[in-house]
Structure formats: C-alpha cells, structure tokens
Amino acid sequence: MNTVRKSETNKLKRTHLYYKYTGFYSFVGQSLKKAIPPILVVVGILILLNAYVVDFGQLFTYVTERYAPINVLLVFLASESLLGLVPPEIFIAWSNKMPEPILYLSLLALMSYLGGIISYFIGKWIFTIPRVYAYLEGSMKKHLKHIRKWGGFLIVVGALLPIPYSMTSMAAGMIHYKFSKFLLFGLLRFVRFYLYAIAIFNLI
C-alpha cells in the first residue's frame, strides 16, 4: 500500500516538475494577466452603461421577446464553433432574462461544448488540406506547440479560463489529440458557465 502511495506521489511530483519546466504555469499566469484586465474593463463598462445609458434588463427582455430562443442558441453555437467571435458573457446575461435561466444557461454551456467539438473536427478537416493546414500551422504556431506539450491540461485551461476555447479545440483536432480525452476535459466548459453566471446574474 505504501509502495503504491509513494509511486503516485512520485508521479505527481514528476508531472508538476514537467509542467513547471516546460512553462505551463507561466503560460497560464500570463494568459490570466492578459485576459483579466479586459474582462474587468468590460464589466466596468457594463456597470456604467447599465447605470447611466441603457437598462440591460429591459434590453435583454426585448431580445427575448423579439427573437426565438433557438435562433439565439444557434448564433451562439456558430460563434463558439468559429473562434469564439462573440463573448459568451453576453449570452449568459441573455439567459438570465429567460423564463428558466438555469435551463437556458445549461443549453448555452451545451452549445459551447458542442462548438468545441465542431472546432475539433474543423481542425481534423484542415489537416487534410495541405495549403490551409500550412497557413494555419503558421498562424496557430504557439497553440499547436502548447497543445503538443501539454495536451489535456491545456484543454482544461481553455475550458475553464478566458482563453479561446475554439482555437484550443481546433489545435487539438489538428494534432489528432485523442477524442475521448478531449470530450472528457471539455466537460469543464459547463463549470465555467455556471461560475460566470453567478457573477453576471447578480450584475444584470
């Protein structure tokens, strides 16, 4: 029993040292430093706009009355499949104005999860087109390098933190990362949405 515990402890230590020396922790720290200030600025702007310019409660109520939920969800799915073109926070705020906020929040999380899967297969498809692959391999050089080094841990970070999840998913597809593991780590996308909702539901 002690031998098994020592083996597991040593494995964790080796894993920790690997991620330390390959710069994983540094990468996460730098990504957070880059991502947090813009998020705080956006939140600050939203608070000011909500207080002095536009009532977001009424705005999102208007959107929910004018557009069918399925249309909003499909727009979000398209965004999450194509490099996250629209910030998820806007859609999370929208879900708070729906008759059943938790249900629609869960649907958004599901759309984001499915968007990651679509991005993964886009990455695999890109691999079959030499010219497109060569172009994207250059533009996504850092992402490809990181996911080759860190694999599942980078997918976890992409799912939880404000790092482009679609791009991480696409990179995973391009290097043919094991799909079953990708699906498993991607489930943390749901956790991210519920955590963000706690803050956003209290703001809007």
pLDDT over 60 at 90, yes or no:
yes
pTM: 0.71
pLDDT band at 125 (very low <50, low <70, confident <90, very high): confident
- Are the C-beta atoms of 104 and 95 separated by less than 8 Å? yes
* Span of 16-25, 68-77, 179-188 with lowest mean pLDDT: 16-25
CA dihedral of residues 61, 67, 72, 74 (deg, nearest 10): 170
Q: What's residue 49's pLDDT?
A: 67
pLDDT score at 110:
96
Does pLDDT of 2 surpass 60?
Answer: no
Q: What's at 65, amino acid-wise?
A: E
Distance CA 140, CA 8 (A): 35
